[in-house]
């Protein structure tokens, strides 16, 4: 009995922030250890209000809200990648050979194969029912990169026989003008996919525009209802976002098992990182999501059998971040100055390729890896949508 009593006395109950505590000894003994030991070394980039909510010393009992969890958007500060150098205590057990040991996953060639098959399907559709898939593209302003992307998408459509239309709106168009263009595509039965080329100029709220887009024509898969259905087991989105869908295709076509594997996804953007992590999980990988707030990200990536990186930081992932034999899908496409190139720059990935190829078993190159797959998946999504619309099998 004495022993039981002694133990019971050590049970400290946490009842709420501030205010009266059930156990007077709490502040002096247990809880500061929980909270304080963690505060040291914290990446202090969270707005003051959010940080303040996370303290035990908030004594303004009466003025705090019923629910202390802040609105989620208040937490959405940009991922600013300033990775700390690997700790000196962390010696990576790398069997680093002096030669390249990695197989190169040739996204260009796989994408070509997919595009050629889509072309055959479109011809079959045309011959059978006299219809072809249609894609409507909305482009606002004259960003050079956006113009290039849109041109490439249209050329790819033309090549496979998908009819594409671009609604090109001026930089200073109103929200209503944009919604009108969207609506025109939306009601047009010959348009099966609509994409709004992002980013939009700042005066247009991307979220509000995307919310208006019909989920049935959202070939980019960015509508929240498609994202929710991608996340939830037992559900199927109308469309899976093109880049992560391309990543999974590359893995499957390369014979990489996903089930039961440890996967690290670096980056958590709505268009790549988030859907990639959700997709890998639907494929039964054990997924860890690494982002700018992750301390020692290399401790996580070096345990992963599959690494998908979409951070947008050149050479973020060094050879010693990777497990020998892992498979790496590098979504990063970062321009770096290179006077020896005709354009004055060249594209490199998030992964230090020269180091990685000596460690991993397979890797996508940049360019020529994930990039070509994105457009191929856009064509595939548009074809699927047309097939659904015409009940064509």
Any idea which residues carry the catalytic annotation?
A: 153, 197, 220
- Under the binding rule (CB under 8 A), the answer on residue 124 touching a second copy is no
DSSP one-letter code for 216:
G
Residues numbered 289-328 forming contacts with a second copy, rule: CB under 8 A: 289-291, 293-295, 297, 299-300, 303, 305, 325, 327
Nearest distance, CB of residue 25 and a second copy, angstroms:
11
* 217 belongs to the binding site for a second copy (CB under 8 A): no
Q: Return the half-sphere exposure (C-beta side, CA atoms, 13 A cut-off) of residue 89.
A: 2
Strands (E) in 126-171, as ranges, are 134-140, 163-169
CB of 354 to a second copy, least distance (A): 11
163-169 vs 134-140, strand pairing mode:
parallel
Nearest of 202, 205, 224 to residue 215 by alpha carbon: 224
Which of 94, 154, 231, 347 forms a contact with a second copy (CB under 8 A)? Answer: 231
| Nearest by Cα to 304 from 285, 281, 332 | 285
Is 4 one of the binding residues for a second copy (CB under 8 A)?
Answer: no
Among 146, 177, 286, 334, binds a second copy (CB under 8 A): 286
The minimum distance between CB 1 and a second copy, in angstroms, equals: 16
**Other C-beta atoms within 10 Å of 56: how many?**
16
CA distance 138 to 126: 25
Contact set for a second copy, span 352-381 (CB under 8 A) = 361-362, 377, 380
Task: Compare residues 180 and 295 and give the one whose CB is closer to a second copy.
Answer: 295
Burial (CB count <10 Å: 0-12, 13-18, 19+), residue 5: exposed
Choose among 186, 192, 119: nearest CA to 158: 119
Q: Which two tokens stand for residue 216?
A: 């049935």
What does the per-residue mask of binding to a second copy show for 64-103, with x meaning CB under 8 A? --xxxx-xxx-xx----------------------xxx-x
Among residues 232, 336, 338, 344, which is the contact residue for a second copy, using CB under 8 A? 232
Residue 220 binds a second copy (CB under 8 A): no
- End-to-end CA distance of the chain: give it in Å, rounded: 74
Q: Which of 214, 269, 315, 334 binds a second copy (CB under 8 A)?
A: 269
29 three-class SS: coil
Could you say which of 84, 109, 148, 183 contacts a second copy (CB under 8 A)?
Answer: 109
Can you tell me which of 192, 217, 283, 318 binds a second copy, judged by CB under 8 A? Answer: 283
Q: Residue 168 Cβ, how far from a second copy at the closest point, in Å?
A: 26
Alpha carbon distance 177, 185 (integer Å): 13
């Amino acid at each position: 009995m004495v022993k039981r009593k002694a133990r019971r006395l050590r049970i400290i109950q946490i009842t709420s922030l501030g205010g009266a505590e059930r156990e007077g000894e709490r502040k002096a003994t247990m809880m500061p250890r929980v909270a304080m030991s963690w505060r040291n070394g914290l990446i202090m980039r969270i707005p003051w209000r959010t940080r303040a909510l996370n303290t035990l010393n908030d004594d303004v009992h009466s003025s705090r809200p019923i629910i202390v969890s802040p609105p989620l958007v208040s937490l959405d500060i940009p991922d600013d990648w300033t990775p700390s150098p690997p700790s000196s205590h962390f010696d990576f057990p790398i069997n680093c050979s002096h030669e390249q040991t990695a197989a190169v996953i040739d996204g260009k060639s796989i994408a070509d194969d997919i595009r050629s098959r889509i072309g055959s399907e479109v011809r079959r559709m045309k011959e059978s029912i006299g219809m072809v898939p249609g894609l409507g593209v909305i482009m606002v302003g004259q960003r050079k990169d956006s113009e290039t992307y849109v041109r490439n998408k249209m050329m790819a459509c033309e090549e496979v026989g998908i009819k594409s239309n671009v609604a090109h709106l001026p930089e200073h168009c109103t929200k209503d003008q944009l919604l009108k263009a969207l609506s025109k595509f939306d009601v047009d039965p010959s348009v099966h996919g609509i994409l709004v080329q992002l980013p939009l100029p700042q005066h247009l709220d991307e979220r509000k525009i995307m919310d208006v887009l019909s989920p049935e024509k959202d070939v980019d898969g960015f509508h929240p209802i498609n994202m929710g259905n991608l996340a939830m087991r037992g559900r199927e989105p109308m469309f899976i976002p093109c880049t992560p869908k391309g990543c999974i295709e590359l893995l499957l076509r390369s014979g990489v098992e996903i089930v039961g594997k440890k996967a690290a996804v670096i980056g958590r953007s709505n268009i790549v990182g988030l859907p990639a992590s959700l997709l890998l999980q639907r494929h039964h990988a054990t997924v860890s999501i690494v982002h700018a707030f992750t301390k020692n990200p290399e401790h996580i990536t070096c345990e992963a059998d599959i690494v998908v990186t979409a951070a947008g930081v050149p050479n973020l992932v060094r050879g010693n971040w990777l497990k020998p034999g892992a498979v790496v899908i590098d979504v990063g496409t970062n321009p770096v100055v290179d006077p020896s190139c005709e354009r004055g720059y060249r594209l490199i990935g998030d992964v230090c390729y020269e180091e990685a190829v000596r460690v991993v078993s397979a890797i996508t190159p940049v360019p020529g890896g994930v990039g070509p797959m994105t457009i191929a998946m856009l064509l595939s999504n548009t074809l699927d949508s047309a097939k659904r619309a015409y009940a064509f099998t």
